[in-house]
Amino acid sequence: MPIRQKIRPVVRSIIGQLVDGGFEAYIVGGAVRDLLMGLEPKDYDIATAASPEDIRRVFGKRQSRIIGRRFRLVHVYAGAEIYEVSTFRREPSADERRERLNDDGVMIWRDNEYGTLEQDARRRDLTVNALYYDPVGERGIIDFVGGVRDLEERCARAIGDPATRLEEDPVRMLRALKLVGQFGFHLEPALEEALRPRADRIALASQSRLFEELLKILATPRTVPILEAFQHYGLLAHYWPTLSSVWQTPTGEQTRRLLAERDRRVEAGTYSTSKALALATASLPYVAARLGGRDLGELWDSDSPADHHCRDAVHDFFAPFPVSRFFSTRVRDIALLLPRFASRARMSRLLRHPEYKYARELYTLTGHVCGWPAETLAGWPEAPEDAEAGADRPPRPRRRRAPRAARREGA
């Protein structure tokens, strides 16, 4: 099937509207890479010659919103979906990228210098992520940097000097090694030589960005190979210190086994892709060890006062990632339900818990990995139809209404 026919109609529509408005616009990055690899892209990024303000004028205030400070772009809304549309950038100069008084002028703190299509391609991180596709015109694949060749050879190659690229934005190390773990790429020798001694620079990146990258890693069915690549190249100790510290221990081995089985089920479509469940799955062996379980096969006593200790264990495991109270509470609740599955006496109460669905999935997964008898896993029904598992997005806060008297007075 031609690439154009694989692209979501709404993506072609968004690009078509920009082109009709007089602006160049293309699909860019991972979506083009995935399409060329025969995969269905999870996300589509769009790059255009239009400024954020121009994009907003094309789609209107109700359908678009300018976001970001370090990197300004536009979210375009299409029903329940959001598509990121960015303006072509050029490489900023040392003065333009400097954000702090003691900055060396290498690391990019702001990236809002607009440029041409070719300048945009040459400022990107890796050649295979700098491919563009024209879904409404006749240009097809646009490749200024040899990305198609490197894609065929499964080579992760930096654009320009690798050391400079990694120092400009340390998150690029994660993206290079994700290609290694997720798709079996190899690092180009110069990139490998530049990456190993700079692994500690990952701590300079925003922890919020790093946590978003973690959620993306956990959303793939290749979590374990990606983390193994991080460990092999010395990045895991600086990116996820607690996991690295237990990597060679029984807790680390149990974590990898649990995540490997979870990866297999995610790929088969038999395990939920909830962010909260993914975080609970990754942290369970560590939490179990902290709460007194001798190993994952013997969970802690369900009657012990574990609430506070469980929350602390979750935060310690994910430190220094800024896990919100929303997620840490849900991970704690999922974990604390697991020992209760051993007692049928509380079944009716457990079935009504909002996290029952995800706790049941994790309990079943754990039992499979630990080789529990079949009868241990039997008898627990699917979540009742009227019991919804917790959503991954926190509820929007309600607007506080003024007191009735004040409303009567027009205050």
The pLDDT score that the predictor gives to residue 406 is 44
Closest Cα partner for 296 from 308, 287, 288? 288
Amino acid at site 299: L
Q: Which domains are delineated in the chain?
A: 1-153 (3.30.460.10), 250-377 (no CATH)
Helix (H, G, I), strand (E, B) or coil at 75: strand
Query: pLDDT digits over 310-337, tens only?
Result: 889 999 999 999 999 999 999 999 998 8
Amino acid at site 228: E
Write phi, then psi, for 381 (nearest 5 degrees): -75, 165
Residues 6+ apart with CB under 8 A from 249: none
Closest Cα partner for 319 from 204, 207, 169? 207
Q: How confident is the model at residue 407 (pLDDT cuts 50, 70, 90)?
A: very low
Q: How confident is the model at residue 410 (pLDDT cuts 50, 70, 90)?
A: very low
pTM for the structure as a whole = 0.85
Residues 6+ apart with CB under 8 A from 43: 30, 31, 84
Write phi, then psi, for 50 (nearest 5 degrees): -70, 140
Angle between helices 171-183 and 223-232 (to 10 degrees): 120
Q: How confident is the model at residue 339 (pLDDT cuts 50, 70, 90)?
A: confident
Q: Which residue has the higher pLDDT, 408 or 266?
A: 266
Q: First CA to last CA across the chain, in angstroms?
A: 62
The pLDDT score that the predictor gives to residue 109 is 46
Structural contact between residues 198 and 173, judged by C-beta atoms closer than 8 angstroms: yes
In the predicted model, is pLDDT for residue 87 greater than 50?
yes
Query: pLDDT digits over 249-283, tens only?
Result: 999 999 999 999 999 999 999 999 999 999 999 99
Query: pLDDT digits over 349-406, tens only?
Result: 888 889 999 999 999 999 999 888 877 777 777 776 545 556 676 654 444 444 444 4
What is the longest distance spanned by two Cα atoms in the chain? 72
Structural contact between residues 363 and 341, judged by C-beta atoms closer than 8 angstroms: yes
Query: pLDDT digits over 105-143, tens only?
Result: 565 545 567 899 999 999 999 999 999 999 999 999 999
Taking the C-alpha atoms of residue 132 and residue 365, their distance in angstroms, rounded to an integer, is 40
Angle between helices 275-290 and 250-268 (to 10 degrees): 160
Taking the C-alpha atoms of residue 247 and residue 204, their distance in angstroms, rounded to an integer, is 23
Return the structure tokens found at 241.
Answer: 């210190």
